[in-house]
């Protein structure tokens, strides 16, 4: 009891400076990872982005090393001479982000320090967005921001020359922009649209943010009397499915998804925890696009695909990987799993703007659907960017009893 009272008293005395303490904590974490990785960290896909960025930095635009092909060699495979160009188009915003720093002559250090600076702005944006959702309360904002700063599998990517750091930061900016729409005018909507476009151009799965915003918009229309606009938009979305499939087919062209199905991979590039088929699999014929190949595989191997999807969902949500240490796994089980439970409870908090709750829930759910249809990564590159949304929901639940600081907080 005495220890608890002393701890509570200490926290109360420090509370007026909690924002400064969060900033100091963020600086300490960034310095720690810079020391750990000895500066910029080259990973598996880094060279692909850097080559593209160096090309743009040198010419002011991407200059192809080979003439464009006169015809497409295969609708399911990219042309080997233009693979770099075609594949990096899915990560265009990040490649141009890197090219800016290369053009300025700051090199790899400039890219990493730029990522760290943007991540710091994202931490501030997360604090502000959470506080708005909490009606001005600071406890939820401080807790969500602290979780974001202290979760190593998020902050480590600031040193990686990969898309994850910028993608995570832009995703948080999208949350901050979405929250402002509640009380904002056309500028708030324009800002949200611009940020959603940037996120979509940073990674192929960046459309989950726009998808979550769409879900929130549908919920808003569903609440209106008569629901005429709701059913009209739903009908429009159904009619747009063929166009969406064509776009998806192009987006997936430089990936080999069905091949990962055939190998039974739950985690890309490893046979550990792979699902083995009981009977030979029916594979799609050559000469078809990625979406038709996936649909063919699903139609001819439905039970095997369901097993794959269930396994990938577990790996993605749990955060457990066969190569992780026992301490790493315990951190996920003892910290992240309870946060999931708290976040789920927060989705029913009537004191929090409902459309904000839909957006916060939609991002991780849509990302989970993408992983189930593709494959999880060796590390947490697919999970880490959506964890801030889980942290915000969990923090809102834990601080639900806090009295709002201002009923007019914007």
Given a contact cutoff of 8 angstroms between Cβ atoms, the answer to whether 204 and 249 are in contact is: no
Q: How far is CA 355 from CA 127, 189, 199, 358, in A?
A: 18, 15, 20, 5
User: Quick check: is 10 in a domain?
Assistant: no
Task: Residue 91: give the domain boundaries.
Answer: 27-398
Secondary structure of residue 354 in the 3-state scheme: helix
Sign of CA dihedral 244, 376, 162, 63: negative
- Whether residue 294 lies inside any domain: the answer is yes
DSSP characters over 372-385 = HHS-B-SSSTTTGG
| 258 within a domain of the structure (yes/no) | yes
- Cβ-count burial of 303 within 10 angstroms (0-12 exposed, 13-18 middle, 19+ buried)? exposed
Please tell me the predicted confidence (pLDDT) of residue 144.
97
- Report residue 335 as tokens: 């910290």
Long-range contacts of 114-121 (CB under 8 A, 24+ apart): 115/157, 115/158, 115/159, 115/165, 115/166, 115/169, 116/30, 116/158, 116/165, 118/165, 118/166, 118/169, 119/30, 119/155, 119/158, 119/165, 119/168, 119/169, 120/26, 120/30, 121/169, 121/173
Neighbours of 257 (CB within 10 A): 16
State the 10-residue block means of pLDDT for the chain, 410 residues long. Answer: 60 82 97 96 91 89 64 50 74 95 96 98 98 94 97 96 97 97 89 96 94 96 91 95 88 84 89 88 85 93 95 93 88 95 96 96 96 88 95 96 61
Write down the pLDDT at residue 10: 62
Q: Specify the number of domains making up the chain.
A: 1
Kindly state whether residue 6 falls inside one of the protein's structural domains.
no
The reported pLDDT for the residue numbered 72 is 46
- pTM comes to 0.92
Residue 410: the pLDDT is 56
Calpha distance 87→252 (Å, rounded): 9
Residue 17 placed within a domain: no
Predicted pLDDT at 63: 77
- Cβ contact 390:339 at 8 Å: yes
Q: Given this model, what pLDDT does residue 73 score?
A: 42
């Amino acid at each position: 009891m005495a220890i608890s009272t002393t701890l509570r008293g200490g926290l109360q005395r420090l509370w007026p400076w909690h924002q400064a303490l969060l900033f100091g904590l963020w600086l300490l974490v960034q310095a720690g990872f810079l020391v750990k990785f000895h500066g910029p960290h080259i990973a598996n896909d880094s060279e692909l982005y850097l080559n593209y960025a160096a090309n743009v930095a040198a010419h002011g635009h991407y200059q192809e090393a080979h003439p464009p092909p006169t015809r497409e060699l295969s609708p399911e495979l990219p042309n080997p001479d233009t693979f770099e160009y075609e594949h990096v188009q899915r990560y265009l915003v990040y490649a141009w982000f890197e090219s800016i720093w290369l053009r300025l002559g700051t090199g790899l250090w400039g890219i990493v320090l730029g990522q760290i600076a943007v991540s710091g702005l994202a931490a501030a944006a997360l604090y502000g967005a959470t506080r708005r959702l909490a009606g001005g309360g600071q406890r939820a904002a401080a807790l969500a921001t602290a979780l974001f700063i202290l979760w190593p599998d998020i902050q480590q990517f600031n040193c990686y020359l990969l898309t994850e750091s910028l993608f995570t930061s832009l995703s948080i900016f999208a949350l901050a922009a979405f929250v402002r729409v509640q009380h904002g005018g056309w500028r708030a909507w324009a800002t949200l649209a611009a940020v959603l476009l940037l996120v979509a151009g940073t990674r192929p799965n960046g459309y989950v943010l726009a998808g979550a915003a769409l879900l929130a918009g549908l919920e808003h229309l569903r609440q209106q009397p008569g629901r005429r606009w709701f059913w009209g938009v739903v009908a429009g979305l159904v009619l747009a499915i063929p166009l969406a499939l064509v776009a998806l087919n192009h987006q997936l062209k430089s990936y080999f998804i069905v091949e990962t199905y055939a190998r039974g991979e739950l985690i890309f590039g490893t046979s550990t925890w792979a699902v083995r088929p009981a009977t030979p699999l029916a594979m799609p014929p050559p000469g078809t696009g990625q979406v038709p190949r996936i649909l063919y595989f699903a139609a001819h191997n439905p039970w095997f695909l369901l097993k794959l999807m269930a396994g990938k969902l577990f790996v993605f949500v749990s955060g457990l990987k066969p190569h992780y240490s026992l301490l790493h796994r315990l951190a996920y089980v003892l910290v992240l799993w309870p946060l999931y439970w708290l976040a789920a409870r927060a989705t029913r908090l009537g004191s929090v703007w409902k459309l904000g709750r839909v957006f916060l829930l939609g991002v991780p759910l849509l990302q989970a659907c993408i992983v189930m249809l593709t494959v999880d990564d060796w590390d947490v590159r697919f999970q880490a960017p959506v964890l801030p949304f889980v942290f915000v929901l969990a923090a809102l639940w834990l601080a639900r009893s806090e009295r709002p600081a201002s009923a007019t907080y914007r």
